[in-house]
Structure 1
Amino acid sequence: MTTAPTSASSTRAQTHAATTARIVAAARTLLVNRGEVTLRAVARELGMTAPALYRYAASHEELVRMVAISIDTDVAERITGAADGQPADDPAGRLIAAAVEFRQWALDNREEFSLVFTNVDVDCVDEVSSPGTGMIFSALLFELWEKYRFPIPALTDLEPGLATILRDPQVPADLTGVPEEMRGLVWILERAWSRLYGTVTLEVFRHIDPRIVDEAHLFRAMIEDQAAPLGLVDELPRLRTLIRDLLAR
């Protein structure tokens, strides 16, 4: 049995994908080493002409978005690995491990975090083939609810405008099988995500006393504040130990 020859269009697609990957890799290296990314610098790094690079990224904004999505995808894999390091039947531990890993990546990679923070939004969900960080944390929170069944606000108890949004939300989450009467879970998700991301952002950019960052006081307090709405009050003694051990690594 002979293998059919690769079509010209398939070869072109593979070449385009490989070159795009090289462009993104070069841009990420420049970002880490110089703190910024420009089309001119990337073209020079790869030995390309500017017109040749424009065939892959038509503008600086498009290049930055490509890089930001690439970073976010890699971070999603990293936090998934951290979550999978905890027992499959411990969604609380899995969520905590993912949150600690996300924080550590952000603190270690300020430039990359900044780029993702300012360029990846809910519109990106349809642009990527692999789940981003938002999708991973959404899935982990849904796992948590499946086990602990913490209270979900009814849409009728929320402001009418918010209830309308939650019936058809823009959110990085797989809502397949989440009926309307459970859409209050999305509101819990949004609030939990805003607290995690907001806390980490304050820490990364040192908008609070750096000693509080170094000793993770705000981060640990944020998780404690989430215990009640996520049904984890009884789990706090165990989770405090887990957080301490994970941060120590």
Structure 2
Amino acid sequence: MSTTIPSGLPTRRERQRQATYDEIVAVSRQLLRQGQDVSLRAVATEMGLTAPALYRYVDSHAELMALLARAIFADVVAEMTVARDRHPVDDPAAQIVAAVAAFRRWALGNRDEFRLVFASPPTPETQALVDSAAQRPITTLEGCVPEELGVHEFSAFFSDIFGRLWEKYRFPVPADDELPDGVLEVLTAPPADSAAADLDKLPTIHGVTPGMVWVFERSWARLYGTVTLEVFGHVHPGLITTAALFQATVADIGADLGLADEWERLQAIARS
């Protein structure tokens, strides 16, 4: 009597291959967290494989970094999703504050992974300074294709909440002729790998304008800048441990998004 594998279920070989990919990612993240060089040879050694054997799964360092980045972005989005979903869908204000607090919490708890996927690759000049200060190898995403890294899932997560914020609060956005010089041309050009690409796809936002995208980008820039300064310790330690700088930044962003009158209740979420 023959047994037919149900259509759509992975075969044993496919499961084994996926398990190997999962191990590659796990070992790469372990090396990253230990401050070691995340190279194909290092990963192969940790897995008890030869470098040629690993090449059957990952054919370049760029592909290895892409696998690692996708896993990291998936974890970040998963943590933010849990935080967001503690609040009702008709309360996007609470959802976005909870999500950005989760993002910060993840960043401070996973500095090396944040450094990999969110920090820009240093120039050759600054590379030497960073290496000297950190005394550890620097791994960058240089050479990876942005679409392969999971960054769109991350930006789409915030774009969705932003869209629902707009529908509910109708916060002010600048008209085209009120944008800074050159911004209109930038934001009306075909989007590449910016949050504008995801924002423009949202069916919940009707009639996306350059002014809306400008507010979105400015909000993200302030959040990202504050969290990055905290992750790299470029602000007073007390401002990090108290979260005072982060909370002030979120309050400023919230005021621009029409949430000033609700900050008293939202502040408790930011503090969490």
**Which TM bucket (shorter chain)?**
0.7 to 0.9
> Which ranges in structure 2 are unaligned for 5 or more consecutive residues?
120-139
Aligned to 1:48: 49
- Aligned residues, how many? 243
1:223 lines up with 2:250 in the alignment: yes
Aligned to 1:150: 171
| Partner SS, residue 228 of structure 1 | helix
Question: Residue 31 of structure 1 contacts residue 112 of structure 1 at CA under 8 Å; is this kept in 2?
Answer: yes
Aligned to 1:213: 240
Aligned-partner Cα distance in 2 for 1:27–1:241: 37
Aligned to 1:192: 219
Provide TM-score, normalisation by structure 2. Answer: 0.78
Provide TM-score, normalisation by structure 1. Answer: 0.85
Q: CA deviation at 1:123?
A: 5.5
Instruction: Identify if the C-alpha distance between structure 1 residues 60 and 90 changes in structure 2 by more than 3 Å, giving closer, same or farther.
Output: same
Aligned to 1:169: 191
Aligned-partner Cα distance in 2 for 1:123–1:84: 31
Instruction: Identify if the C-alpha distance between structure 1 residues 159 and 85 changes in structure 2 by more than 3 Å, giving closer, same or farther.
Output: same
Aligned-partner Cα distance in 1 for 2:150–2:227: 26
Match among 259, 264, 267 for residue 237 of structure 1:
264
> Which ranges in structure 1 are unaligned for 5 or more consecutive residues?
none
Letter matched to residue 204 of structure 1: V
Aligned-partner Cα distance in 1 for 2:111–2:257: 29
Letter matched to residue 186 of structure 1: V
1:141 lines up with 2:162 in the alignment: yes
Aligned-partner Cα distance in 2 for 1:221–1:120: 31
Question: Residue 69 of structure 2 contacts residue 150 of structure 2 at CA under 8 Å; is this kept in 1?
Answer: no
**Superposed CA offset, 1:69-119 (max 9, x none):** 210111101101101011222111100000111101111111111111145
Aligned-partner Cα distance in 1 for 2:14–2:206: 40
Letter matched to residue 158 of structure 2: F
Instruction: Identify if the C-alpha distance between structure 1 residues 205 and 188 changes in structure 2 by more than 3 Å, giving closer, same or farther.
Output: same
